[in-house]
């Protein structure tokens, strides 16, 4: 990666980390403290947990499409402001209905699709999976820290204090967006040539995009279903609730370490399809034994390690594949569809996992996860990894080009697909077809591959 790409990835990873830390800190304590609120019932507690994902699923598509029209940063800042407002509403409530309203507002700040599209804007294709892996790692670290900080902050300040912390972290995210993340000026060959409805229909009709959307639905559905039963199983096996982080933290670190060689191998050996299918198969292999064998601590720890190694690889690979598959100018729309499938999968996974847990115990939930992975493997078997385009880095001297002139000149060249211009840095990323003739570039532009 260039220094500019590293700065962009680190800034975006920090933004993801601060935002997700606030969310993850609520997971281990929300159900416990929600019982103290007025109008509390098991149904409303479940709704308070799940309504965030439902709000996200509904709004990811329109906000992703909006980011294609007005730019990524305005949508990100607006989403973080709504998220912070939701935290304040929930913190000031003494009724569970107010907590539900705050959680719904937090879900309305649906910026995941826009953030993922911005990663694609700010990195070249050959480094995109590594960028997604870095962001996935930051989310994993946030999850691990949240399991430690959530119970501690909750014990000191209650659920209201945790919601205040989520609002403060959202404001920090706004500062990172405004002052640290570079502002891309992107233009594509067919940008603006299609109505939003037509762009959405194009995403939904593309079979390769839909395989990826179905994949993220299953992936996060399986994750949520597992977390319906895994915390209780850890307690059954002797881990105190306050000590669960001692299991999750090393599992997340080791699984991330295992993921990195797989990504490097898949990219360098052009073996993404094979490694991808292997990772999906590992999800089934990790959970199927637990549906039929007697549970013990070692088996559960091995399952968690294998599952999260595969999960982290797929979590990094899916958005990278999506950014390579989507048509020029439609990244925000495609990421919106993708994120909606992701959050709706989490909502369904928690709902169905909870029902199965009450009906057949943890074995039924592990069976659900294994069968879901096998269905996904069958769907993914027909996936087509798109051929890699080439990304050129362009530089120019002060006064030679402005953003609009450079965009028009570059996109007029045969084989140009998209360009992202960073005018202040006098740098641009030009995406071109493999048969692009580099000799047709103007002599005033310095080119690096």
- DSSP character string of 15-72: HHHHHHHHHHHHTTTHHHHHTTSBT--HHHHHHHHHHHHHHHHHHHHHHHHHHHHH-H
Whether residue 385 is contained in a domain is answered as no
Which H/E stretch holds residue 10? helix 3-26
Q: What is the DSSP letter of 294?
A: P
In a shared domain, residues 245 and 271? yes
In a shared domain, residues 96 and 126? yes
Whether residue 268 is contained in a domain is answered as yes
Inter-residue contact 16 to 133 (CB < 8 Å): no
pLDDT in tens, 339-377: 788 888 877 887 787 778 778 888 888 999 999 999 999
Could you give the 3-state DSSP secondary structure of residue 120?
helix
Closest CA to 309 of 115, 112, 137, 138: 137
Inter-residue contact 50 to 173 (CB < 8 Å): no
Whether residue 335 is contained in a domain is answered as yes
In a shared domain, residues 313 and 349? yes
Q: Which value, to the nearest 10 degrees, does the dihedral of the CA atoms of residues 179, 181, 182, 186 take? A: -130
Whether residue 241 is contained in a domain is answered as yes
Supply the pTM of this predicted model. 0.72
In a shared domain, residues 124 and 253? yes
| 331, 351, 380 - which closes a domain | 380
Inter-residue contact 21 to 80 (CB < 8 Å): no
In a shared domain, residues 158 and 275? yes
Whether residue 363 is contained in a domain is answered as yes
In a shared domain, residues 426 and 374? no
In a shared domain, residues 98 and 193? yes
Could you give the 3-state DSSP secondary structure of residue 158?
helix
Name the one residue in this structure whose structure tokens are 């070692």: 298
Read off φ and ψ for residue 444, nearest 5 degrees. Answer: -80, -5
Residues in the chain with pLDDT values less than 70: 1, 28, 31-32, 42-43, 45-46, 125-129, 133, 136-137, 140, 147, 184-200, 241-242, 326-332, 386-390, 424, 434-435, 448-449
Whether residue 177 is contained in a domain is answered as yes
Inter-residue contact 38 to 94 (CB < 8 Å): yes
In a shared domain, residues 223 and 312? yes
Closest CA to 375 of 193, 258, 150, 218: 218
* Domain extent at residue 209: 3-380
Show Cβ contacts of residue 179 under 8 Å, excluding neighbours closer than 6 positions.
none
In a shared domain, residues 427 and 376? no
| 357, 380, 403 - which closes a domain | 380
Q: What is the DSSP letter of 419?
A: E
Which CATH number covers residue 281? Answer: 1.20.1250.20
In a shared domain, residues 357 and 394? no
In a shared domain, residues 425 and 338? no
Whether residue 251 is contained in a domain is answered as yes
Which CATH number covers residue 398? Answer: 3.30.70
Could you give the 3-state DSSP secondary structure of residue 95?
strand
Q: What is the pLDDT of residue 280?
A: 94
In a shared domain, residues 426 and 293? no
Distance between CA 149 and CA 138 in Å, rounded? Answer: 16
Show Cβ contacts of residue 204 under 8 Å, excluding neighbours closer than 6 positions.
210, 337
Alpha-carbon Rg for the chain, nearest whole angstrom, is: 22
| 354, 380, 406 - which closes a domain | 380
Helix spans in 123-240 (H): 128-179, 196-205, 207-236
Count structural domains, the chain: 2
Q: Angle, to 10 degrees, between the axis of helix 207-236 and the axis of helix 196-205?
A: 70
* CA 278-312-363 angle, 5° bins: 75
Whether residue 17 is contained in a domain is answered as yes
């Amino acid at each position: 990666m260039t220094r500019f790409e590293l700065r962009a990835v680190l800034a975006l990873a920090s933004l993801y980390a601060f935002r997700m830390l606030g969310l993850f800190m609520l997971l281990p304590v929300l159900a416990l403290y929600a019982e103290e609120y007025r109008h509390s019932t098991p149904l409303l507690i479940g709704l308070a947990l799940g309504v965030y994902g439902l709000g996200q699923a509904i709004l990811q598509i329109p906000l992703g499409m909006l980011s294609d029209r007005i730019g990524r940063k305005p949508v990100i800042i607006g989403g973080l402001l709504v998220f912070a407002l939701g935290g304040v509403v929930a913190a000031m409530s003494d009724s569970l209905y107010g907590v539900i309203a705050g959680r719904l507002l937090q879900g309305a700040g649906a910026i995941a699709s826009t953030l993922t599209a911005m990663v694609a804007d700010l990195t070249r294709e050959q480094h995109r999976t590594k960028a997604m892996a870095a962001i996935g790692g930051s989310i994993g670290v946030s999850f691990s820290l949240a399991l430690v900080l959530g119970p501690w902050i909750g014990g000191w300040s209650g659920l209201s204090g945790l919601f205040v912390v989520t609002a403060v972290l959202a404001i920090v995210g706004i500062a990172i967006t405004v002052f640290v993340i570079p502002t891309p000026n992107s233009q594509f060959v067919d940008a603006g040539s299609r109505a939003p409805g037509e762009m959405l229909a194009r995403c939904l009709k593309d079979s390769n995009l839909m395989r990826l959307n179905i994949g993220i639905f299953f992936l996060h559905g399986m994750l949520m279903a597992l977390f319906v039963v895994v915390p209780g199983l850890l307690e059954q096996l002797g881990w105190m609730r306050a000590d669960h982080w001692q299991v999750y933290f090393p599992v997340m670190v080791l699984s991330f370490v295992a993921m990195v060689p797989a990504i490097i191998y898949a990219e360098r050996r052009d073996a993404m399809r094979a490694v991808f299918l292997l990772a999906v198969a590992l999800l089934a292999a990790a959970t199927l034994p637990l549906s039929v064998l007697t549970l013990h601590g070692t088996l559960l720890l091995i399952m968690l390690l294998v599952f999260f190694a595969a999960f982290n690889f797929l979590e990094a690979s899916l958005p990278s594949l999506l950014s390579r598959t989507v048509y020029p100018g439609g990244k925000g729309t495609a990421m919106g569809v993708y994120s909606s499938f992701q959050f709706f999968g989490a909502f369904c996974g928690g709902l169905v996992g909870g029902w199965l847990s009450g009906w057949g115990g943890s074995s039924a939930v592990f069976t659900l996860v294994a069968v879901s992975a096998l269905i996904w493997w069958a769907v993914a078997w027909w996936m087509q990894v798109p051929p890699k385009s080439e990304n050129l880095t362009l530089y120019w001297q002060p006064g030679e080009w402005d953003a609009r002139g450079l965009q028009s000149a570059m996109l007029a060249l045969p084989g140009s697909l998209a360009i992202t211009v960073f005018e202040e840095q006098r740098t641009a990323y030009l995406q071109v077809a493999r048969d692009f003739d580099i000799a047709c570039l103007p002599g005033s532009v310095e080119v690096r591959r």
